[in-house]
Structure 1
Amino acid sequence: MGPLLALASAACYGVVDFAGGLLSRRVHFAVVTFLGQIGGLLLALVAALALPAEAVRSTDVLWGALSGAGSGTAMHFLNRGLSRGAMSVVIPVSAVTGVALSVLCGVFFLGDRPSPLAWLGICVTVPALWLVSGGGIGARGGGGGGARTPAGQASLDGLTASLGVAVQYIGLAQADPVSGLWPVAAGRIAAVVLLLPTALRYVPEFRQPRKRLGQAAVIGAGAALGLILYLWAAQQQMLAVAVVLASLYPALPTVLGLALLREKVTPAQVTGLLSAGAAVILLNLG
């Protein structure tokens, strides 16, 4: 059940990534990021109340808050990089480095001991994520009217986002199941507080049609659902495997772009998709 939950989390994040990328072409990244966390907070609160916890422990709430700080940081720098037209640099750097940091932390500090097959799956996943995300293709024009971002700045956005991703996954995995979904709710509160100063700097950008503001909130709710599924997955298997499976989300925007937007998929992306499929099989067998 754990691998299925992790893959469901990846599916949620894949849809969110695809929808958020489209919305960021029309709405400022600070609006998408902040309202996304508001939407995520609302969904997390409803879910936490609907599924009562045995005991809400302060330690677990703090772990959740740390995870939320990581989420807020990751989304801020990821969306900022995307808004600057650096998709082919920011996404692969953040995805690959985030996975690597999480796995290394699980192995060296949390006692994870993946089997040989699982290790092979992890090793296959890293290049698969890079290829399927378009790594090395060269920065494409994005929401900034075709403006390009220097490679150094794009890489810095991606690396900072990856640190947030690692903190998000590692922190949430430390929460005890007895606290239910309150760690996720606490994380959304922490993310909202963290992102509030940036949102206040761009108040005029929030003057958008209510439809687009609502879309940003719904996208954030989808991200929160992905975190809930990841939390349940991490409670049933080792962190390294849960993180790797949940991090396969970049494959879905590639498939959706092909199916819905008639985008062309490069041979490298096809190789990445096939490698990602092989990694899923290896991780499940391991």
Structure 2
Amino acid sequence: MGALLALASAVLYGLSDFAGGLVSRRASFMATALAGQLGGLALAALLGIFVAAPATTAADLGWGALSGVGTGIGMLFLFRGLTNGSMSVVVPLSAVGGVALPVVVGVAFLGERPAVLAWAGVVLALPALWLVGRTRGGGGSNGAVDALIAGAGIATQYLALAQARPGAGLWPVVSGRVAAILILLPLVLATHPRLPARLAPAAAAAGALAALALACYLLATRQQLVVIAVVLSSLYPAIPVLLGITVLRERLSSRQVTGLLAAAAAVVLLALG
């Protein structure tokens, strides 16, 4: 069940990135990120009411808030990279960074020991994420710094959220959305970016999908090693690629085909492990 929840998180996050990326290309990336977090807060608070939380503590909310700081930073630099037209660098590099750091921390500091098959899945997932995110003509380094910062933010998001105890329900996700909003709001107020009214619902919906993805991830960590849950949840770049084929009629490169096949194999290995 934990693996399925983590995969559901990946699908939802992929849908969120696809929608958010489209909006951020037509409006301010900062305004898009803030609207997304507001939409995520609304949905997370609603879901939190219906999920049992018998022992929510300040520490749990604190871990959620730290996760939200990672979210705010990660989404801000991810959308800025996408706005700069460097998707071929930002998406794969941020995804690999978002996986590699939690794996290192999980093994070195949390004492997690994945099985041999799971380790094979982890090792296979890293190049798969890189290949899936690479697009034609993506050989330049533009956006590399944005990608590294976004990856660090995503890693913080996953690691911190996983530290919240099961008794906290989904309230750490809620506190995370509040923290992300507090990170983004001063920047939006200082720069006065514009988000056309017609795009606001799409931006909010993208954020709501991301919040739901985090809720699925949080539930997955309660049934699965954090290392495995992070890797499975981080396979989300495959979803925008598949949507690009079916919705935008884009063509896959040979690298992306290889990456998708490797990602599918990694899922099988992680599930069996």
The TM-score with structure 2 as length reference comes to: 0.97
- C-alpha change, 1:137 and 1:127, in structure 2 (3 Å) is farther
Q: What displacement does 1:98 show? A: 1.2
Residue 170 of structure 1 corresponds to: 159
Asked if 1:193 is matched to 2:192, the reply is: no
Distance 1:78 1:234 in 2: 24
Contact 2:88 2:134 in 1 (8 A): yes
Asked if 1:179 is matched to 2:168, the reply is: yes
Q: What displacement does 1:203 show? A: 2.1
Contact 2:2 2:221 in 1 (8 A): yes
Contact 1:89 1:136 in 2 (8 A): no
Residue 78 of structure 2 corresponds to: 78
Residue 241 of structure 1 corresponds to: 228
Asked if 1:22 is matched to 2:22, the reply is: yes
Q: What does 1:106-125 correspond to in 2, within 5 Å?
A: 106-125=106-125
Distance 1:51 1:239 in 2: 21
Distance 1:218 1:196 in 2: 18
Asked if 1:259 is matched to 2:249, the reply is: no
Query: Which residues of structure 2 form unaligned runs of 5+?
Result: none
Residue 147 of structure 1 corresponds to: none
Contact 2:56 2:167 in 1 (8 A): yes
Residue 144 of structure 1 corresponds to: none
In the TM superposition, structure 1's runs of 4+ consecutive aligned residues that sit over 6 Å from their partners are none
Distance 1:135 1:67 in 2: 29
Query: Which residues of structure 1 form unaligned runs of 5+?
Result: 140-149
Distance 2:234 2:64 in 1: 19
Contact 2:32 2:203 in 1 (8 A): yes
Asked if 1:271 is matched to 2:272, the reply is: no
Could you report, residue by residue, the CA deviation over 1:42-71 in whole angstroms, capped at 9, with x for unpaired residues?
111111112231121111000000000000
Distance 1:45 1:277 in 2: 33
Residue 7 of structure 2 corresponds to: 7
Q: Give the letter aligned to residue 130 of structure 1.
A: W
Q: Give the letter aligned to residue 128 of structure 1.
A: A
Secondary structure of the corresponding residue to residue 194 of structure 2: helix
Contact 1:92 1:135 in 2 (8 A): no
Distance 2:163 2:268 in 1: 26
Secondary structure of the corresponding residue to residue 105 of structure 1: helix
- C-alpha change, 1:136 and 1:101, in structure 2 (3 Å) is farther
Q: Give the letter aligned to residue 63 of structure 1.
A: W
Q: What does 1:29-40 correspond to in 2, within 5 Å?
A: 29-40=29-40
Q: Give the letter aligned to residue 42 of structure 1.
A: A
Distance 2:64 2:52 in 1: 17
Distance 1:62 1:136 in 2: 42
The TM-score with structure 1 as length reference comes to: 0.93
Q: What displacement does 1:136 show? A: 8.3
Q: Give the letter aligned to residue 114 of structure 2.
A: P
Distance 1:192 1:17 in 2: 18
Contact 2:28 2:193 in 1 (8 A): no
Q: What displacement does 1:26 show? A: 1.0
Q: What displacement does 1:135 show? A: 6.4
Contact 2:30 2:193 in 1 (8 A): no
Distance 2:57 2:135 in 1: 41
Distance 1:131 1:249 in 2: 13
- C-alpha change, 1:156 and 1:179, in structure 2 (3 Å) is same
Secondary structure of the corresponding residue to residue 205 of structure 1: coil
Q: Give the letter aligned to residue 244 of structure 2.
A: G
Residue 202 of structure 2 corresponds to: 215
